[in-house]
């Protein structure tokens, strides 16, 4: 049914639900009859008769408007400000800005648009496609919400998650803007029909749904008009980013279907505005090409730097035995304020948190790496646990694959903190904390641990009952909880002001994901902490499932970037992060992060170690090139693979041949290999991707360094990396036979080594049912 046929009061009700004043709606219906389109136009044109205005839709249904050209954005602005005039007077920039600021004040209570918001709106006014890259929490949503208010046309927002859409719709409703979301999570069937009749100012839709509804959206564009397609969290388009979503890639259909060539009623292609807080330069290029954005899109770029976030990295085994040490400060901070008045007591059942909570070994299992890099591990103080498959790891972690994945809304509890809440969080409390962990089990075990220590904590992961998840959201937004321990399922789009701490407990999968999650802290502009606890003696290895070879490479690259971020001891963390996103960081330091505060460690001259390693590697490759001539191609390749030594083998050889270097272990040498790689002396010799070099090969530069005359190489001053410092600070481990053997003759050393606590060395149980078991039992007596 067309809007023009609706009875007056139905149209009035619709207008009111869109946020118009009831008096305006009544007046409009009186003037133009029970037509929704004309009533909207009438109100937006300042309550003047619409029939004489350019661009007004005659109320004759869809057929009669076919063939009409859609009025331009400026026409709408013009009509919405001034009475109809047969002469078109173009508005100056200031005019739309003044009106946008008025609407901003009226609906959202803010006095002025931010500069980047003005720029993004300016691009849209000029009918240009636009890519908005702005920090987390900077206010990107308003860039696409204001156009709906300015024009009276519909804005279509493509968003990756139902919960995010639902949340934004509810917030908009509170600000008097009518919005709906479409997709599998929408239970009210009438919403789609109403949306397609132009009854909402903003339509949120997931990529899958918009691709299915191209035709209805075409007729919406023809009837009410579509002001803009906004693609939020647009990094999901790119394979090179985090959270890649194949359906996002198919959104090029928007440009193909909603252009002026294809739809004669359009005067210009409907502009596309793509927005994200985390896109590297490569991802940006990928976004522009994959979405078929116009050749010369406007790029609105703000600094990614968040000056109030204090980043730090801490070494931890990140398993249950480390909770006490790692969370002591957090527990102290909350227990200091036990008298604090939280708005509500938590209603979350503690027994729910124990579901699936497991023994120390189980909890630590995720640390096991499915990749072969595990064999390099030097950390023999940990028991050798069963090797896990990638599938096992994935079954334990939440991955964003579909729009419904984390279908729990948070919007019923308006993301903004009320003044009352702010009173609570300012000074009197420690604000809120989100702890991100890689697996679901850890959400439960950490939440349970914190609860036992008197902290109001709750677990959150995609497999918990929806009712429980809603309760967590509710209590989080009402400040009834202090800590949420979550997988990545929690948080996208969370706009809560008083999050004071984001703790990552385990390696994140990429720096993009890390920065986005960290960005949920300190949205009130006050100091907030972003701490990464990671096992610096182990490389990260949690890879996504269902990936092509190319994606595996990319996943390793992202893990590697994360690993290097944590390993660096001499560069400001904030600087590393913003430079990762291609931004020039003009300041030398953020003055807040652990590196800036503590300062870098003392530089060390590692000339001898670096030369010995380079010479060892170079000698091997020399020998190999000699062998090359004696094999035909196939045999050669086979042999290369068989004998290609990895870093560990080189290190063993060095330790065998250089007594003076016996104090350095594999962990230390791995750090040096990374430094040599950064200097361009080494490269990976394997086809497969690794988090860091596994099979080192010398470069030309490396060979020059290795074989230069001794007096030519004066020094090799470097800042030791975090794993090198860790290796020097902890009791020496004796992983290789060679090291273990050394000093064995000394009774003191022997006694010390034998008395070391090796809990995993349980006495072997013998099965007396078997011959072998009986024999073993006899021998052990």
State yes or no: residue 139 binds ligand ATP (CB under 6 A): yes
Which of 22, 66, 69, 110 binds ligand ATP (CB under 6 A)? It is 110
Q: Which is nearer to Mg ion, 405 or 561 (CB)?
A: 405
Q: Closest separation between CB of residue 108 and ligand ATP, Å?
A: 6
Q: Taking the complex as a whole, how short is the minimal distance between the CB of residue 159 and Mg ion, in angstroms?
A: 9
Which one, 198 or 519, has the nearer CB to Mg ion?
A: 519
Closer by beta carbon to Mg ion, 140 or else 573: 140
Q: What string marks each residue from 388 to 427 as x (binds ligand ATP by CB under 6 A) or -?
A: ----------------------------x-----------
Measured CA to CA in angstroms, residue 517 lies from 514, 588, 767 at distances of: 5, 24, 51
Cα–Cα distance between 328 and 531 in angstroms, integer?
A: 14
N-term to C-term CA, the chain: 91
For residue 221, give every residue at least 6 positions away whose Cβ sits within 8 Å of its Cβ, in sequence order, or none: 70, 258, 263, 265, 266, 270
* Cβ closest to ligand ATP, residue 41 vs residue 167: 167
Closest CA to 112 of 147, 79, 142: 142
> Quick check: 134 binds ligand ATP (CB under 6 A)?
yes
Q: What does 537 bind: Mg ion, ligand ATP, none (CB cut-off 5 to 8 Å by kind)? A: none
Indicate whether 113 belongs to the interface with ligand ATP (CB under 6 A). Answer: yes
The alpha-carbon radius of gyration of the chain (Å, integer) is 31
Residue 447 tokens, joined: 């939440």
316/752 Cα distance (integer angstroms): 25
Residue whose CB is less far from ligand ATP, 121 or 606: 121
**One character per residue 405-444, x = contact with Mg ion (rule: CB under 5 A):** ----------------------------------------
The answer to whether 159 contacts ligand ATP (rule: CB under 6 A) is: no
On whether the CB atoms of residues 18 and 39 are closer than 8 A, the answer is no
User: Is 140 an interacting residue with respect to ligand ATP (CB under 6 A)?
Assistant: yes
* Residue 54 interacts with, from Mg ion, ligand ATP, none (CB under 5-8 Å by kind): none
Nearest-CA neighbor of 278 among 460, 117, 137? 137
- Give the span between the Cα atoms of 265 and 72, in whole angstroms: 11
Q: Is 15 helix (H, G, I), strand (E, B) or coil?
A: helix
CB of 143 to Mg ion, least distance (A): 10
Candidate residues 368, 376, 442, 495; the one interacting with ligand ATP per rule CB under 6 A: 495
Helix, strand or coil, per DSSP, at residue 684: strand
CA atoms lying within 13 Å on the CB side of residue 757 = 3
Q: Does 493 bind ligand ATP (CB under 6 A)?
A: yes
Report the distance separating Cα 377 and Cα 648, nearest Å. 9
Q: Does 149 bind ligand ATP (CB under 6 A)?
A: no
* Binding span for Mg ion by CB under 5 A among 132-140, 241-249, 393-401, 626-634: 132-140
119 near ligand ATP, judged by CB under 6 A: no
CB of 114 to ligand ATP, least distance (A): 5
Shortest reach from residue 145's CB to Mg ion, in Å: 11
Strands 717-718 and 604-605: antiparallel
Q: How far is the CB of 603 from Mg ion (least distance, A)?
A: 42
- Residue 81 is a binding residue for ligand ATP (CB under 6 A): no
Ranges assigned E (strand) in 557-652: 604-605
Q: Where do we find the tokens 């002026």?
A: 260
∠ CA(402), CA(403), CA(407), 5° rounding?
110
DSSP string, 230-297: EETTGGGG-TTSSS--HHHHTTHHHHHHSSTTT-TT-SSPPPEEEEES---HHHHHHHHHHTT--SS-
Q: Which helix (H) or strand (E) holds 434?
A: strand 432-436
Examine residue 138 and tell whether it contacts ligand ATP (CB under 6 A). yes
Please choose, out of 107-115, 546-554, 606-614, 651-659, the segment that lies near ligand ATP by the rule CB under 6 A.
Answer: 107-115
The CB-nearest residue to Mg ion is 140
Q: Is 241 a binder of ligand ATP (CB under 6 A)?
A: no
Tell me the window of 133-141, 352-360, 521-529, 657-665 that interacts with Mg ion (CB under 5 A). Answer: 133-141
Give least dist CB 314 to ligand ATP, A: 25
Region of 138-146, 256-264, 541-549, 692-700 interacting with Mg ion (CB under 5 A): 138-146
User: Of residues 12, 28, 142, 291, which one binds ligand ATP by CB under 6 A?
Assistant: 142
Alpha carbon distances (Å) from 716 to 67, 279, 474, 655, 708: 74, 35, 56, 20, 13
Residues 271-290 that bind ligand ATP (CB under 6 A): 277
Asked if residue 141 binds ligand ATP (CB under 6 A), the reply is: yes
Q: Which stretch binds ligand ATP (CB under 6 A): 48-56, 66-74, 111-119, 384-392?
A: 111-119
Nearer to Mg ion, 140 or 317 (CB): 140
Q: Which helix (H) or strand (E) holds 310?
A: strand 309-315
Structure tokens at 448: 């349970």
In contact, 164 and 495? CB cutoff 8 Å: no
Query: Under the criterion CB under 6 A, does residue 175 sit at the interface with ligand ATP?
Result: no
Other C-beta atoms lying within 10 Å of the C-beta of residue 384: 10
Which residue stretch of 112-120, 188-196, 376-384, 429-437 sits at the interface with ligand ATP (rule: CB under 6 A)?
Answer: 112-120
- HSE-up (13 A, CA, CB side) for residue 534: 26
Minimum CB–partner distance for residue 132 and ligand ATP (Å): 9
Whole-number Å distance between alpha carbons of 524 and 496: 8
Per rule CB under 6 A, is residue 646 in the interface with ligand ATP? no
Which residues contact Mg ion (rule: CB under 5 A)? Answer: 140
Which residues contact ligand ATP (rule: CB under 6 A)? Answer: 108, 110, 113-114, 117, 134, 136-142, 277, 416, 493, 495, 519
């Amino acid at each position: 049914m067309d809007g023009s046929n609706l009875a007056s009061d139905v149209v009035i009700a619709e207008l009111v639900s869109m946020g118009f004043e009831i008096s305006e709606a009544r007046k409009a219906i009186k003037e133009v009859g029970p037509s929704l389109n004309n009533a909207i136009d009438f109100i937006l044109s300042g309550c003047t008769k619409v029939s004489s205005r350019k661009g007004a839709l005659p109320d004759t249904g869809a057929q009669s408007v076919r063939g009409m050209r859609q009025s331009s954005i400026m026409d709408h602005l013009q009509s919405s400000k001034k009475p109809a005039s047969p002469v078109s007077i173009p508005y100056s920039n200031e005019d739309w800005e003044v009106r946008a600021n008025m609407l901003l004040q009226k609906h959202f209570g803010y006095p002025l648009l931010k500069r980047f918001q003005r720029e993004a709106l300016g691009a849209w006014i000029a009918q240009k496609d636009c890519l908005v890259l702005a920090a987390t929490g900077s206010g990107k949503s308003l860039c696409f919400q204001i156009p709906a208010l300015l024009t009276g046309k519909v804005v279509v927002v493509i968003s990756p998650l139902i919960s995010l859409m639902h949340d934004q719709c509810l917030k908009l409703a509170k600000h008097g803007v009518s919005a709906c979301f479409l997709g599998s999570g929408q239970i009210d069937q009438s919403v789609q029909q109403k949306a397609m009749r132009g009854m909402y100012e903003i339509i949120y839709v997931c990529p899958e749904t918009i691709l299915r509804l191209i035709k209805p959206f075409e007729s919406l564009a023809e009837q009410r008009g579509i002001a803009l397609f906004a693609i939020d969290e647009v990094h999901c388009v790119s394979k090179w980013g985090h959270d890649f979503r194949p359906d996002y890639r198919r959104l090029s259909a928007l440009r193909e279907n909603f252009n002026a060539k294809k739809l004669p009623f359009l005067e210009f292609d409907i502009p596309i505005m793509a927005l994200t807080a985390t896109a590297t330069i490569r991802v940006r290029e990928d976004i522009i090409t994959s979405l078929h954005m116009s050749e010369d899109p406007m790029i609105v770029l703000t600094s990614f730097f968040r000056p109030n976030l204090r980043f730090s990295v801490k070494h931890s085994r990140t398993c249950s035995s480390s909770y006490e040490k790692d969370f002591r400060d957090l527990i102290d901070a909350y227990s200091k304020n036990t008298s604090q008045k939280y708005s509500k007591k938590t209603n979350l059942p503690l027994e729910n948190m124990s579901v699936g909570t497991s023994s120390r070994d189980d909890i630590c299992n995720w640390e096991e790496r499915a990749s072969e890099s595990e064999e390099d591990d030097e950390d023999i103080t940990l028991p050798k646990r069963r090797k896990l498959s990638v599938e096992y790891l994935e079954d334990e972690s939440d991955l964003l694959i579909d729009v419904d994945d984390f279908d729990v809304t948070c919007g019923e509890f308006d993301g903004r903190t009320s003044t009352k809440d702010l009173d609570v969080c300012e000074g009197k409390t420690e604000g809120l904390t989100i702890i991100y962990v890689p697996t679901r089990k850890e959400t439960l075990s950490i939440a349970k641990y914190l609860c036992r220590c008197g902290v109001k904590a709750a677990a959150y992961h995609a497999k918990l009952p929806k009712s429980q998840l809603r309760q967590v959201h509710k209590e989080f937004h009402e400040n009834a909880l202090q800590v949420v321990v979550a997988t990545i399922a929690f948080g996208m789009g969370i706009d809560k002001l008083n999050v004071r701490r984001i703790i990552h407990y385990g390696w994140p999968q990429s720096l993009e994901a890390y920065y986005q999650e960290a960005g949920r802290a300190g949205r009130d502009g006050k100091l907030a902490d972003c701490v990464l606890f990671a096992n610096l003696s182990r490389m990260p290895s949690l890879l996504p499932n269902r990936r092509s070879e190319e994606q595996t490479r990319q996943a390793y690259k992202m893990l590697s970037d994360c690993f290097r971020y944590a390993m660096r001891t001499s560069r400001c963390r904030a600087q590393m992060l913003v430079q990762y996103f291609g931004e020039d960081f003009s300041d030398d330091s953020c003055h807040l992060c652990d590196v800036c505060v503590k300062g870098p460690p003392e530089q060390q001259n590692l000339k001898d170690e670096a030369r010995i390693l380079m010479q060892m590697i170079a000698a091997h490759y020399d020998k190999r090139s000699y062998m090359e001539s004696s094999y035909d191609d196939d045999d050669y390749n086979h042999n290369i693979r068989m004998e290609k030594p990895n870093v560990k083998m080189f290190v063993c050889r060095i330790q065998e041949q250089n007594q003076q270097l016996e104090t350095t272990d594999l962990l230390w040498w791995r750090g040096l290999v990374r430094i040599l790689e950064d200097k361009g002396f080494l490269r990976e010799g394997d086809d497969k991707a690794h988090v860091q070099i596994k099979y080192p090969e010398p470069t030309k530069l490396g060979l020059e360094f290795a074989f230069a005359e001794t007096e030519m190489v004066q020094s090799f001053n470097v800042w030791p990396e975090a794993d090198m410092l860790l290796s020097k600070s902890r009791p020496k481990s004796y992983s290789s036979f060679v090291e273990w053997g050394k000093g064995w003759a000394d009774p003191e050393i022997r006694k010390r080594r034998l008395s070391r606590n090796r809990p995993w060395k349980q006495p072997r149980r013998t099965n007396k049912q078997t011959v072998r078991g009986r024999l073993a039992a006899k021998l052990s007596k």
